Amino acid sequence: MAKKVVIADNLALVATPIFSAVSNGGNPMFFEAWLGALAYTLQLYFDFSGYSDMAIGIALMFNIHFPLNFFSPYKVTSIIDFWRCWHITLSNWLRDYLYIPLGGNRYGIPIQMRNILITMLIGGLWHGAGWTFVIWGGLHGLFLVINHLWRMTGRKVHNFIGWLVTFIAVVIGWVFFRADSVHSALVILKGMVGGYGVSIPRYLPDLGLFANDGIIHVASVSGIDAVVGITIGLIIALCLPNLAELTKKNYGPMINKKQYHLNLFKIIDIPIVFVPSLKWSLLTAFVAISGIISLQTTSDFLYFQF
C-alpha cells in the first residue's frame, strides 16, 4: 500500500502537472521535461507494482497463490529482459496467445520479427484505442526486434551501457503512454533533448514551463522536492530487493532463473529474506502508519482503466 499512496501518489504531484501543462501549450525545458518523464516512469511502477503486491498478499490470506507480476524491471540490461520482468502476467499472455500462435520463431528470422511487431502493436491497443498506445506498442516492438537482432550478432556490451540504453528506451516509451496526444509526447521529447532550452539552478525553486505568453507554473512542489522524490524512487527501484528476493522461500525458483539484472546497483544482497523479527516489525509498522496517514487523499490506480 505504501508503494502506491506514499511513493506513487507523491510522484504524481510532479508528473501530472507537467504533462497537463504541456497539453495546455507549455514547452518544457530540459530539466522540467526529464522531471516529468522520470516522475511518471517511477509513479507508474510503484502504483502498478504496489497494487499487484496487494493483490498477491490479500489472495494469500485465502490461500490463493497469485503469480509474481514484477521482478525489478528497471534493473534489467535489455528490453527483452524488461518484458520478462514488467507486468509478467500480461507478457506471458501475449506470448502464449499471440506470439506463439502467430508462429513465434519457428519460421525464420523475418517472420519472427514480424510476429514480435504484431504482438506488441496489439499489446499497445490492449491498453487503449489511441495513437499514443499504438506508438508505445510499436516502439517496444521495434526495440525488441533491434535487441533480438543485436543478440544474433553475438556482440556484447557492458552491463551498465545495456542498462542505460534500456532505461532510456523505456522512459521514452512511457512518455507516449502517458501523454494525452502524440503532439504532447513529441513536445516533451523535444524538451528532453534541450529543444526548448536547458534549465539552470535558479529555476529549481519555482517549477514552470515556457509558453508563448510567459511561464506556466505547473507544480505545487518545488523543483528541489521533485529531484529528491525522484532520487529516492530511483534508489528504491534500482538498489533495494524486490518482493521475490525478500520472500525467497516462496519465489526461490524464479530468482534462480532471473539473473539478468544489473548488479552494479545492488547495495543489498539477494539472500535477505523476510522473517519475523523486531527489526522487520518496526519497519513494517512505520511503513503501515505512513500508508494509513497518506490515505487521507483520494487517487485512482493508474491501471484501473485497463
Residues with a catalytic annotation lie at 127
Average pLDDT, rounded, for the chain: 86
| Alpha carbon distance 272, 194 (integer Å) | 42
pLDDT at 218 over 50: yes
What confidence score (pLDDT) does residue 268 get?
Answer: 45
Residue 210 confidence (pLDDT) above 80: no
Least trusted range by pLDDT, from 65-69, 84-88, 218-222, 280-284: 218-222
Residue 267 has pLDDT above 50, yes or no: no
Task: Look at residue 271 and tell me whether its pLDDT is greater than 70.
Answer: no
pLDDT at 80: 94
Is 96's pLDDT higher than 90?
yes
Q: At 70, give phi and psi (nearest 5°).
A: -140, 145
pLDDT given for residue 294 in this prediction: 86
Query: What's the alpha-carbon Rg for the chain, to the nearest Å?
Result: 20
Model confidence pLDDT, tens digit, residues 169-189: 999 999 999 999 999 999 999
pLDDT band at 168 (very low <50, low <70, confident <90, very high): very high
**pLDDT of the residue at 211:** 60
Maximal C-alpha separation, the chain: 59
Task: Write the single-letter amino acid at 188.
Answer: I
pLDDT confidence of residue 253: 54
Average pLDDT for residues 96-117, to the nearest whole number? Answer: 94
Q: What percent of the chain has pLDDT over 70?
A: 84
Q: In this predicted structure, what is the pLDDT of residue 178? A: 95
User: 265 pLDDT exceeds 50?
Assistant: no
The pLDDT-based confidence of 305 (bands split at 50, 70, 90) is confident
Residue 83 pLDDT more than 80? yes
Rounded to 5 degrees, φ, ψ at 286 are -60, -45
Look at 259 and 295; give whichever has higher pLDDT: 295
Stretch 27-46: mean pLDDT: 93
Q: Does the predicted TM-score (pTM) go above 0.95?
A: no
Shortest CA distance to 45 belongs to which of 273, 233, 194, 266? Answer: 233
Cite the beta strand spans of the chain per DSSP E.
208-211, 214-217
Q: Where are the domains of the chain?
A: 2-305
Q: Length of the chain, please?
A: 306
Tell me how far apart the alpha carbons of residues 68 and 49 are, in angstroms, rounded to a whole number.
Answer: 10
* pLDDT tops 60 at residue 270: no
What's at 147, amino acid-wise? Answer: N
Taking phi over 0 as left and psi of -120 to 50 as alpha, with beta for the rest, 154 belongs to: left
